[in-house]
A = this chain, B = another copy of it.
């Protein structure tokens, strides 16, 4: 049983889960039981009236940093703002400059970082980072649209194995794929309708079918996102190197440089990354329509008589297996359809409405471009192979070899490259949702100072770059890794919608049910076909990786669950009592406090104990108890990424009893470590005669890999503060179960 309330997929069926991202998601709210525990733990503290106020008065420093002499100097790192929170009306706010180090090298690094990724954005700018339809379409659709450049060709290159004459089957298979596109696309329109706050395959499957199915969908998408980046970069680079053959030997470095560029672009944040990539998508749409319309007009001149393709000897007989292989290869043209339903909250309000419209436009574009390419290729008698892509062949016939041809090739190259960007949009969001459900490390909940999911972007780029480099930048061997994951995700999302309609039966549920059932059956069929026909050529990797990822996610969840249970506030246990360090101070300790205060006022160099606290959990309470039992002037410190979080923390603090002085620093740029360091160092510089002891709760994990799941702020604080001789760091260990 969970010790805290959090949007677990097992609890999700109570209502539609929230698919928006919020900067404060790293600190989980406490559930009722934990709040009760907090209240009871607080009641055991001695209730001397006015004690907290006395403690506040005894502080040898001014916690609000309102010393005048150095204000101008320190104001670079903190400013005073008027707060709307009930507790008080003035507040310390960390400035972005606080993240800049003190040395010359730090200064240069900070400036460089700002130059590359732009100025920091406040948490409240999340809403402003939303996109209109005209921007959302080119940002979210390149993954789907660009597959027109390789989907038909992948299909035809299988068909041609049975002889050039069988290429005519591409019309029939193309029609089936278009049907599939419409079914799946309409299915995702239903998803947006049912989950108006957003919800990709992971959220929808978790919510309706249960967490394991959600994880399977999530794992499938994870594989797909990584392969998408590798394949898109590989085909983009291939287009460049076929234009400039002298660059061929530099295939891998060029691709890696492009991945770095994508990372940098995405670290700037979704909106700017979109703006960088909007133009090429529109260029590509125009290019394909240009080729298709010119091609059809030419064919109309020949009364739509198809040119016979270049003869090609059959190497395989035309059997069911070959047709199925061709079909599943062609179905790679469908990757990326789910991106929009995943990303509803990035749309400007009304988000769901805008997302549905954008999805419809995208499906319409995808279907017409796909039909057009398949048709024109048929009429032109285009045939895969011969050192030219099918798209290049029909472009040549439609628009000749001049400027227009160059434009088509350039647009294709660019759109393939930025198709990878869809993955950089989608994957960090997927990891965010999985981390919110505690199936992934909490680091993926953190939004960087540009509101981008730094960790998720990096975690996508590294395996994609490795995959790309491992295959030497070649596209072909990566294709079989492609289809299985994405169609597993499609199947689960559509199946979840079927269950959803059966359960909820809202208006128009029969129609929705029919659409999603068709989508589910067709998607499942493609997934099975792809897994079977491509098993030996690479799909087996995916078949192993998906269960492995599900296993790892469940282990992560189990650890967080144990940690949460262990940390959930509860009245002090006899065990804690025995260990003496969780025991609240006694009336006697309070007298000692008074004594210490008297000593402090007598002019001696005095002590200050600072307890930085992220969450008011058992580890924090233990640190507070220890610090209080030292009978020295003390101050608790909390850094909050948003006003809502600050308010919530102060509410918990009051529930506990408000026994100790507390200073809340708001950090609108979401840094945690830097404000704590700057605050402590500011106090130290102002009062070097005060010995500052920083008491930090330290989670001690039972296994090394568990360290990846916690932010290890104790270790980082220790390292950063050890360069300051007047500041002493004390770790209060809290052992997590194995």
Q: Which residues of A contact B (CB under 8 A)?
A: 577-581, 583, 586, 588-589, 592, 595-596, 599, 602, 604-607, 626, 629-632, 688-691, 693, 698, 700, 718, 721-735
Contacts and interface: CB of A to CB of B under 8 A. Distances in A.
Contact of A605 (B583, B718, B725): B583
Contacts of A735: 723, 725
Contacts of A578: 688-689, 726
Nearest to A735: B725
A544 to B, nearest CB: 31
Contact of A602 (B580, B588, B606): B588
B729 A691 contact: no
B725 A581 contact: yes
A579 B725 CA distance: 7
A732 B632 CA distance: 17
Nearest to A596: B592
B723 A700 contact: yes
A577 B689 CA distance: 7
A579 B731 contact: no
A570 to B, nearest CB: 16
B730 A729 contact: yes
A723 B733 contact: yes
18 contacts: A577-B605, A579-B688, A579-B691, A580-B688, A581-B691, A581-B725, A586-B604, A592-B592, A607-B629, A607-B630, A700-B723, A722-B731, A722-B733, A725-B734, A727-B733, A728-B730, A728-B733, A729-B733
A698 B731 CA distance: 14
A219 to B, nearest CB: 33
A150 B204 CA distance: 77
A619 to B, nearest CB: 10
A604 B46 CA distance: 14
B728 A732 contact: yes
A722 B698 contact: yes
A727 B731 CA distance: 9
Contact of A580 (B599, B626, B691, B733): B691
A595 B598 CA distance: 13
Contacts of A726: 578-581
A552 to B, nearest CB: 25
A622 B425 CA distance: 53
B588 A629 contact: no
Contact of A718 (B592, B599, B724, B731): B731
Contacts of A733: 721-725, 727-729
A693 B734 CA distance: 15
Contacts of A728: 581, 626, 730-733
A729 B727 contact: no
Contacts of A725: 579, 581, 733-735
A390 to B, nearest CB: 52
A100 B698 CA distance: 26
Q: Which of A596, A626, A690, A722 has the most CB of B within 10 A?
A: A722
Contacts of A607: 629-630
Contacts of A595: 592, 595
A630 B589 CA distance: 13
A626 B728 CA distance: 9
A607 B632 CA distance: 14
A217 B272 CA distance: 63
Contacts of A589: 599, 604
Given A589-B599, A721-B733, 9 more contacts: A580-B605, A581-B725, A581-B726, A588-B599, A592-B599, A630-B630, A700-B722, A723-B733, A728-B730
A577 B733 CA distance: 31
B729 A731 contact: yes
Nearest to A600: B588
Nearest to A702: B723
A135 to B, nearest CB: 46
Closest CB pairs A-B (n = 5): A579-B726, A580-B605, A730-B730, A580-B691, A722-B733
A460 to B, nearest CB: 31
Contacts of A604: 586, 588-589
A693 B596 CA distance: 19
A567 to B, nearest CB: 13
A411 to B, nearest CB: 49
Nearest to A625: B691
A629 B691 contact: yes
Contacts of A602: 588
A632 B322 CA distance: 82
Given A588-B602, A728-B731, A580 B630 contact: no
A393 to B, nearest CB: 54
Nearest to A723: B700
A580 B693 CA distance: 12
B691 A626 contact: yes
A733 B726 CA distance: 8
Contacts of A580: 605-606, 688-691, 726
Nearest to A576: B725
A576 to B, nearest CB: 9
Contacts of A723: 700, 733, 735
A163 B626 CA distance: 87
A632 B596 CA distance: 12
Nearest to A731: B729
